[in-house]
Amino acid sequence: VPTLEIVHCGENFQALCSAVVGLFVLVDEANTDLKAKQLIYALLNHLDDALRFRDVYWVILDFVGQHVVSRHLNFDKKNAFDVSDKQAICLMDTYRLLLVMITRIPHHWIHLSQEELARLLFSTFHLLALTPTGSENAETKLIRPVNALALLDKSASWFKTWLLKVPNRNQLLSSLQESGLVSDVLQSLSRLSPARRLKSTNQAADIVELHTAQHS
């Protein structure tokens, strides 16, 4: 489908985008998933309308949310860096596109109503906090949205952009708290083993470090 044809398709725009995004997880010999993502990237490069960008954002957010819950967009953490695993590559590419959307959306916030911005903030944070349905310990074994974004953007630069661009920082922080993402991250951190102190070759430095830790 020609990119410009989608851009100028009028009221069918969101439906066409949904149809294309629906192919994101279709791994086959024809590379359907890759072609669908390339089409969305091309579409984004032609979008000047903030409301059109918003429509694409909601389509991708809904798609990822539905497929995380149904476990069609999750894979074992041990396969996250397996370049021979086509399914894992496909899913990480989907999260990579989600990260692009999350990074760009702040530039369009000025065109959204306060109510819609609040809904967008909460929905995005809620998506990142989603866990797949299944066993109780599924979240410890599977890549989830929050894990994927951490792998792709370890410094969380997208969140720094959000803090800088959001019209009302209290609104963002409230949405972050209400979504459950903060408690989810803290719970994940609580399951990690304590970091081991690395012993240096400098005995004097070790003594100073130990003394500092004891009196901090």
Query: How much is the average pLDDT of 137-152?
Result: 75
Closest CA to 97 of 161, 140, 142, 33: 33
Q: Is the pLDDT of residue 24 over 90?
A: no
Q: Per-domain residue ranges for the chain?
A: 3-214
CA distance 12 to 40: 15
Q: Is the pLDDT of residue 143 over 70?
A: yes
Residue 20: which pLDDT band, with cuts at 50, 70 and 90?
confident
pLDDT of residue 138: 46
Angstrom CA distances, 126 to 91, 120, 214, stand at 19, 10, 39
pLDDT of residue 211: 52
Average pLDDT, the chain: 80
Q: With H, G, I as helix, E, B as strand and everything else as coil, classify residue 76.
A: strand
**What is the reported pTM?**
0.78
